[in-house]
Amino acid sequence: MTTRLIDLKHLQKKFGQQTVLADVSLHVDAGQILGLIGPSGAGKSTAIKIALGMEVADGGDALVLATHMPNRPLLGRIGYMAQDDSLYDALTGAENLRFFGRMKGVKKDALAADIAHVADVVDLTPALAKRVSGYSGGMRRRLSLAIALLGDPELLVLDEPTVGIDPALRRKIWHELHQLRDAGRGVLITTHVMDEAELTDEVALLLDGKVMAYDAPAKLEALYQVKTIEEVFLKAEGVA
Amino acid sequence: MRALYIARRVVTELIRDKRTLALMFVAPVLIMFLMKLIFTQSASTSVKVATVDLNNNVRTTLNDIKHVAVSKKASNASAQQALRDQKVDAVIHETSASHYTITYANTDATKTSLVKAGFNAALTQNGMKTLKQTTVKLSRTVSQMAATIARLSPQAAAAMKQPKAKAQPRAKIKSRYNYGDKNTDFFDKIVPILMGFFVFFFVFLISGMALLKERTTGTLDRLLATPVRRGEIVLGYMISYGILALIQTVIIVLTTVGFMGVEITGSLGAVMVINFLLALVALAFGILLSTLAQSEFQMMQFIPIIVIPQIFFSGIVSLDSLASWVKDISYVLPLTYAGNAMTQIIMDGTKLTSLGVDIGVLLLFLLVLTGLNVRGMRRYRKV
Ligand SMILES: Nc1ncnc2c1ncn2[C@@H]1O[C@H](COP(=O)(O)OP(=O)(O)OP(=O)(O)O)[C@@H](O)[C@H]1O
Ligand SMILES: [Mg+2]
């Protein structure tokens, strides 16, 4: 039996009068990639933040690595990449990586090798000595992803990691994600790129605060009698 | 351990931000320099004095004093007329032997004090035994007047020091009421408080801005997505800005002593300890208030509300005559305690060990504010 890394049960979340999450249940197992899709403003980022303990749910239960969130020490075992690139602009790429590596508690002697590895995954090795203020949008995104990958976390939570990243590099990143999955890591990823949703093991479609569809991509396509996840998305939304 | 890494990162960021560094280290020196310039400027004020029936010796001596020009008038009426026409700044009338009536225009308090000082010097320098008694009496009056002026017109009182020191090097009266008497020399009185104020102001502003920036750029969220403790973040900021505040304190104290020629009766080390303590309080205060601000501009809005009032309540102006609730306000302001301790060290040479209450209160401020900061971070992460 596989370990359940994320187990969100009947989450509810309101911002003032607005109900963002009405009833959301999701789970990510070890060795699984779960893709979270849904229109902008559907509450994808909110669900992720609740899972990480950065927001408090109004109802329901968020279990991560079999522990109730929020829980501080647990955060060291999770690689989180937020939707916005928050980086220290005055520092170089390498300094950002070193700093966050230390914050995550990566062992001192392992840190240099770890940084070299994650920088290679996102093709950032040549730019590591450069200040982040001189980075392009895509470079910032890649550095953000590299930071999330630091410390070989058991669970990766990536909020739109491939925005602004070119197709060749995107392919490389997905290759890395699949490798991580095969090594038994769990990945929760949100995306607006439906081609990417095809590459996941399961897709959850978030709409009107509820999970409207939740299955393997191929099964969803069969269920909706369409060829692509994009069409599933559009059909579920009632556009097509 | 993480706190140290955070501190190192903050310092690295700061070192690369040359303008902020300049603001912290150069701006206080610049302001001190400007103040020095302004306060020595008044020493070159010159006065015109009309004399009536004044003893020739005294008149000549007075005329020889720097920045004092004497003109003889035949009658008191014509002298008073000249005073009204603003041709002279004061009239000295020897009504009978050794009895003088001095009328001041008093439109410029600096001039008034210069006349007073100059006349005293002239009398003393004259060295006439018969005048001695009068001089003593006069000096007492002058000291009372000076005290009045200190209350009414701070700058004038501050300026008094310079002409006196120059004009009457051998004057005996000088030591009796002028130097070392905080009631008569306003500028000496405010320097310790101003020094503390600069430390407070710059550290408050810059540390608050730094954490605010961390929050608005989202790096704080990212930081809080790692297993770092909230306390470690606060501590990291305290360490890094503490180091900076220490350097700044040393610079401010040394320039105050060096540039301004302020005499410190107590130990220089004690002044630095108090200033540093105040800097740490300012640091914690800045971090706390930054959580209430949404932008850098909102942080600036705290300056008139939180920072400036401190200077009024911190002992620059005597609060004795005010309503008690106004006085009570000063008890909750950290600058009050720092200013009080610093004044005692600089004026009276009080030792740190005798300033337990002030130091204790500052430490309490520091402790409470730091605690609030660690708690305040709960807004961003619950654990
Ligand atoms: N802190 C907040 N305060 C108030 N409303 C919020 C807050 N955070 C999110 N919301 C609201 O919750 C809804 C969902 O936001 P969320 O960021 O989860 O959307 P999303 O699915 O990630 O969208 P996108 O694909 O554009 O990133 C939005 O309507 C947003 O306005
Ligand atoms: Mg989002």
Give the pLDDT confidence score for residue B57 in this predicted structure: 81
Residue A45 Cα, ligand 1 centroid: separation in angstroms? 7
Residue A101 Cα, ligand 2 centroid: separation in angstroms? 25
Environment class of B169 (CB within 10 Å of its CB; exposed 0-12, middle 13-18, buried 19+): exposed
Out of B219, B229, B381, name the one closest to residue A54 (CB): B381
Q: Could you give the CA distance from residue B68 to residue B46 in angstroms, rounded to a whole number?
A: 6
Q: Could you give the CA distance from residue B93 to residue B115 in angstroms, rounded to a whole number?
A: 13
Q: Could you give the CA distance from residue A8 to residue A51 in angstroms, rounded to a whole number?
A: 7
Residue A41 Cα, ligand 1 centroid: separation in angstroms? 5
Tell me how many helices (H) and strands (E) chain A has.
8, 10
Give the pLDDT confidence score for residue A169 in this predicted structure: 87
Give the pLDDT confidence score for residue B31 in this predicted structure: 81
**What are the start-end ranges of the E strands in chain B?**
47-52, 68-73, 90-96, 99-104
Chain B CB contacts of A95 under 8 Å are 9, 12
Smallest CA–CA distance from B12 into chain A, residue:
A91
Question: Taking every pair of C-alpha atoms in chain A, what is the biggest distance, in angstroms?
Answer: 55
Give the pLDDT confidence score for residue B136 in this predicted structure: 62
**Other Cβ atoms within 10 Å of B213 Cβ, number:** 18
Give the pLDDT confidence score for residue A52 in this predicted structure: 87
pLDDT digits (tens, 9 = 90+) for A78-96: 999 988 888 999 999 999 9
Task: Give yes or no for a contact between B241 and B8, defined as CB atoms under 8 angstroms apart.
Answer: no
Calculate what percentage of chain B has a pLDDT beyond 70.
79
pLDDT exceeds 70 at position B42: no
pLDDT digits (tens, 9 = 90+) for B225-275: 899 999 999 999 999 988 988 898 888 888 877 777 677 778 888 888 998
Which ligand is closest in space to the CA of residue A43? 1
Closest CA to B330 of B354, B361, B360: B361
Chain A interface disruption, residue of B5, B18, B226, B377, most A CBs within 10 A: B226
pLDDT exceeds 90 at position A45: yes
pLDDT digits (tens, 9 = 90+) for B161-218: 444 433 333 322 222 222 233 333 456 667 777 778 888 888 888 888 888 889 888 8
Amino acid at site B216: T
Closest CA to A132 of A86, A83, A88, A82: A88
- The verdict on whether omega for the bond into residue A153 sits within 30 degrees of 0, i.e. cis, is no
Taking any CB pair shorter than 8 Å as contact, residues of chain B touching chain A are 2, 5-6, 9, 12-13, 16-17, 217-229, 380-383
Which protein residue's CA is at the shortest distance from atom 2 of ligand 1? Answer: A15
Chain A CB contacts of B235 under 8 Å are none
Backbone dihedral angles phi then psi of residue B52, each to the nearest 5 degrees: -125, 125
- In this prediction, residues B49-56 reach a mean pLDDT of 86
Smallest CA–CA distance from A85 into chain B, residue:
B218
- In this prediction, residues B88-116 reach a mean pLDDT of 75
Give SS3 for A206: strand
Asked if the ipTM is above 0.95, the reply is no
pLDDT digits (tens, 9 = 90+) for A156-181: 999 999 888 889 889 988 998 999 99
Tokens of B287: 């971090």
Q: Could you give the CA distance from residue A140 to residue A120 in angstroms, rounded to a whole number?
A: 15
Could you tell me where the DSSP H helices lie in B16-108? Answer: 18-41, 56-64, 76-84
Question: Which atom of ligand 1 lies nearest, measured to the CA of A192?
Answer: 25
Give the pLDDT confidence score for residue B1 in this predicted structure: 84
Out of B6, B12, B221, name the one closest to residue A82 (CB): B221
Q: In what order do the strands lie in the sheet with B90-96?
A: B68-73, B47-52, B90-96, B99-104
Give SS3 for A138: helix
